[in-house]
Structure 1
Amino acid sequence: MGRRTAWWRAGAWRGRPSARVRMAAAAAVLYTAAIPASWPAEAAPAAGAPGASDPSVSSYAFAEGAQSVTGATGTTDAPRLQVGKTYRSSLAKGAKVYYSFDLDVDSNTYVSATAVPAKGAKLSVTDGIRVSVQNTDSNSCSYQSASFGAAKSPHPVTAWGARTASPANPVCKGAGAYYVVVERVGMADSSPGAWDLELTAMSEPPVDQAGSTNPPKAWNSASPTPVSGAPRTSQGGAGYSRATTVGQGVWRADISPGQTLFYKVPVDWGRQLSATAELGTTSGGGQGYAVEALGMTLYNPVRAHVEDTSVGYDGKQQSLSLAPVPPVEYANRYAVGDQLSGMRFAGSYYLVLHLSKGVADEFGDGPFGLTLRVRLQGTAQDGPGYTGQSVPRNVFQVTDEDRQNAAAGGAGGGNAAMTAVAAAGIGAGTVVLVVLGVWTVVARRRAAGA
């Protein structure tokens, strides 16, 4: 940069450049200067920011542009949120906070809350959050809890709630105000600091014709053989909004103690997802055993929990696999249990992997090799025939872009941000080269004239 600046200041000829050249040069400078302003904050952490200098910790990447909101202590002052948007809030120890939504009469609405404890927070085995959706008569439409497990390792955990316009749930029918309640639970031995929250709400339109309300009775529940082959590098993202898109294949990444990696897998109607994760052998020596060292959780497109699994680690390679889940079908929502009812719509499913901070105590800071094997079985089918669009758009379908990103294995998330920045850089560089070329031609002509 210093050399180029000196060249620009020195000039290649005597005399003043034309107005057109001056305008092109100014445009190039402005174009170049605009690039840093559009750089996503999570794509390039600033020095001193969490995760910027400490490779063993990956801070959660909140959705860019998420609006900050403060939860109320009661329903009267509950801030009104909008379906389709993402919000950022906080949850103090012992707190129970309220938010509100205005819902229509016939859409299904799903709300998720992702709690992010501070780096180094002390947690108890039962520490976690509970999310419920209530109507104006204090009747619960749904509720769910999520905890951090025996490893007591700080990482993002997500719980969800729903208001479904279904005959099976007559309590929460009708349009109007509904309340989302988020509270801390099981916190006897946890540290007092507040947790960050990411809140999302998505709506699913009704279907054109009501089908069977009975879940499928038969499906292939045999454990599939994990995908084999040479792995391709695909580093997971640091949050739902930065999740790395992958499809069927073998994917290689690095993970450090305390780090959480997010992947998303587009799954169409009629297709069946399975996944296996392997933690490689440590190269730094060490002896001991880390309980629940590697955990893997499957969430559906609205970030609702489907299932989770974990495995301990003694320094030797270990693997864990999701229990079989049914092919994606609309009628799965009428089944009992998250593992079946969670596979209720097409879209991007999330595989979230966390390496416990306790691994560092026994085997060092890493990073450790991680292999993710993803398989998709079955043939894609037509959807149930929605009468409208989801909010946000395309949540419950697999787009052509999703398929392309999955085939590329690494598109989306932070990689997409880097691609955009690279494209912007190339564009700016092209403008500068054009300006320099024009300037050189003008200089030569003037020299020839002299």
Structure 2
Amino acid sequence: MILAALGAPPVQAAPGAPGSYAFAEDAVRAAGAQSTADAQPLEAGRAYRSTLPARGPVHYGLRLDDSSTAYVSATAVPPADLRASSVTDGIKVSLRDSRGRSCDVDTAGFGAARSPHPVTASAVRDVSRRTSLCKEAGTYFVTVERTDPDGEGASPRDWDLELAVVTEPPLEREEATRAPREWNSASPEPVGGAAERRAGGAGFARATPLGEGVWRDDVHPGSTLFYTVPVDWGQQVSVTAELGSTDGDGKGFVAAALDLDLYNPVRGHVADVRVAYDGGQKAGTLPVLPPVAHANRHAATARIGAVRTAGTYYLVAHLAAEVADDFGTGPVPLTLRVRVEGTAQHGPAYAGQAVPPGVFTVTEADRRAADEGTEGGGTAMLALAVGGLGAGSALLAGLGVWTVVARRRATP
């Protein structure tokens, strides 16, 4: 991309290769501080690359107004040669105000398979919550740390980090403060038809666009694939993942072979499904989700609350390294059946601009990218790439990026 000079270059690795992760090309280096007093400020609309030590937290600053909802995500990437870890090993992300009051906390780990792979946790300063203490303008602190650095098998080495910050403006007028109580909660029929080849990307910033349809890829043990699905206001997304049978003579059973996670446009975790594998055809479907609505954030259930904005949703598929022990290191066929139901609706009237712009919208360009599998990451990623530029420069850079994308139709 033309904006790579703004920060560190991405890791050059084959998409989905074990231990690989493609960081945002425009990621700015940010050193996490041992004390909040020395915390480096983060800016909304930018991507950052940092390091997470094996022990001890790292802190970053964040300046917020008194009306915007802020989302901070951290993706931790363990060393490429790490083969097994603790069940409880992972990361914890917390957000606090200047008085030390907690706004939000989230954790993410490798799970029962103990298979190291990129894991993402996020924290929210949500001004729409009536009980929230974090509504004042001022400096906030983002803290990232390992969840179990001393656990059996925990990795003793530093991990790489990718950080992203997004802000959402308030509404022009107050709307419903309760989540919709009635919506189609019946399990949809998986999409049928012949599968089309669509290779997954190696990170959030290089995720492969998918639309409604049946998509096929091959996933190696220990590897992780990233995809995006545009989901507009009023639409429901459902996904079924299938692992196909292998030609090998391996016999065995892996209880948590495939881990499929769905993240919202700000990389907040929405839902997941684990698929067991014994060498034969296996499948699993994400839990049924409601249509995307601003009022979903008031739901008591976290899964419903996460489907709060339109935009680019992310699918992250990881095949456990343990699969290689029973079935060899060769690839396993992966099929994703993606359904997006419902007619796109107009979104809420925001009293201001999201940062990065367009992160909560679905454009015709996003839909075309999903249909064609062209390089991208949606409007949000384009805006994130130019988030640190002035408005005029951003427009020119954006036009340049779309020109490059138009000339490189066959990737990622």
Q: TM-score, normalised by structure 2?
A: 0.88
- Deviations for 1:334-379, whole angstroms, at most 9, x for unmatched residues? 0023210000000000010000111111101111211110001111
Deviation of 1:56 (Å):
5.1
Pair 1:62 & 2:40 matched: no
Letter in 2 for 1:173: K
| 2:264 corresponds to which of 297, 300, 305 | 300
| 1:313 corresponds to which of 274, 277, 286 | 277
Contact persistence 2:91–2:108 (CA under 8 A): yes
Contact persistence 2:74–2:120 (CA under 8 A): yes
SS at match of 1:297: strand
2:332 is matched with which residue? 368
Residues of 1 paired with 2:194 and 2:368: CA distance? Answer: 20
When you count helix as a share of all residues, which structure comes out higher? 1
- Deviations for 1:18-75, whole angstroms, at most 9, x for unmatched residues? xxxxxxxxxxxxxxxx9x999x9659x4xxxx549xx852611000021111111111
Residues of 2 paired with 1:306 and 1:422: CA distance? Answer: 31
Deviation of 1:422 (Å):
9.4
Deviation of 1:95 (Å):
1.8
Tell me how many residue pairs correspond in the alignment.
Answer: 381
Residues of 2 paired with 1:207 and 1:401: CA distance? Answer: 26
Pair 1:172 & 2:144 matched: no
Deviation of 1:152 (Å):
0.7
Classify 1:422/1:221 alpha carbon distance in 2 versus 1 (closer, same or farther; 3 Å). closer
Contact persistence 1:254–1:369 (CA under 8 A): yes
- Deviations for 1:374-422, whole angstroms, at most 9, x for unmatched residues? 00111111101112221111000101110111121354269x99x9499
| 1:162 corresponds to which of 124, 131, 155 | 124
Classify 1:56/1:133 alpha carbon distance in 2 versus 1 (closer, same or farther; 3 Å). closer
Pair 1:77 & 2:38 matched: yes
List runs of 5+ in structure 1 lacking aligned partners: 1-33, 425-450
Contact persistence 2:273–2:285 (CA under 8 A): yes
Give the CA RMSD over aligned residues.
2.5
List runs of 5+ in structure 2 lacking aligned partners: 383-400
Residues of 2 paired with 1:176 and 1:346: CA distance? Answer: 28
Contact persistence 1:56–1:365 (CA under 8 A): no
Residues of 2 paired with 1:119 and 1:264: CA distance? Answer: 24
| 1:252 corresponds to which of 182, 191, 216 | 216
1:133 is matched with which residue? 95
Letter in 2 for 1:114: T
Residues of 2 paired with 1:96 and 1:57: CA distance? Answer: 27
Residues of 2 paired with 1:234 and 1:348: CA distance? Answer: 17
| 1:343 corresponds to which of 307, 322, 326 | 307
Contact persistence 2:14–2:202 (CA under 8 A): no
Q: TM-score, normalised by structure 1?
A: 0.80
Letter in 2 for 1:166: S
Residues of 2 paired with 1:116 and 1:37: CA distance? Answer: 22
2:230 is matched with which residue? 266
> Identity rate of aligned residues, in percent?
51
Residues of 1 paired with 2:93 and 2:238: CA distance? Answer: 27
| 1:392 corresponds to which of 356, 373, 376 | 356
Letter in 2 for 1:303: R
Deviation of 1:131 (Å):
0.7
Contact persistence 2:24–2:205 (CA under 8 A): yes
Residues of 2 paired with 1:37 and 1:99: CA distance? Answer: 23
Letter in 2 for 1:145: T
Contact persistence 1:56–1:366 (CA under 8 A): no
SS at match of 2:20: coil
Residues of 1 paired with 2:156 and 2:193: CA distance? Answer: 47
| 2:243 corresponds to which of 250, 275, 279 | 279
| 2:175 corresponds to which of 211, 214, 237 | 211
Classify 1:254/1:420 alpha carbon distance in 2 versus 1 (closer, same or farther; 3 Å). farther
Letter in 2 for 1:66: A
Deviation of 1:165 (Å):
1.8
Letter in 2 for 1:150: A
Consecutive aligned runs of 4 or more in structure 1 exceeding 3 Å deviation: 40-43, 419-424
Letter in 2 for 1:129: I
Classify 1:91/1:58 alpha carbon distance in 2 versus 1 (closer, same or farther; 3 Å). closer
Classify 1:252/1:103 alpha carbon distance in 2 versus 1 (closer, same or farther; 3 Å). same
Classify 1:411/1:229 alpha carbon distance in 2 versus 1 (closer, same or farther; 3 Å). farther
Greater Rg by CA: 1
Contact persistence 2:18–2:220 (CA under 8 A): yes
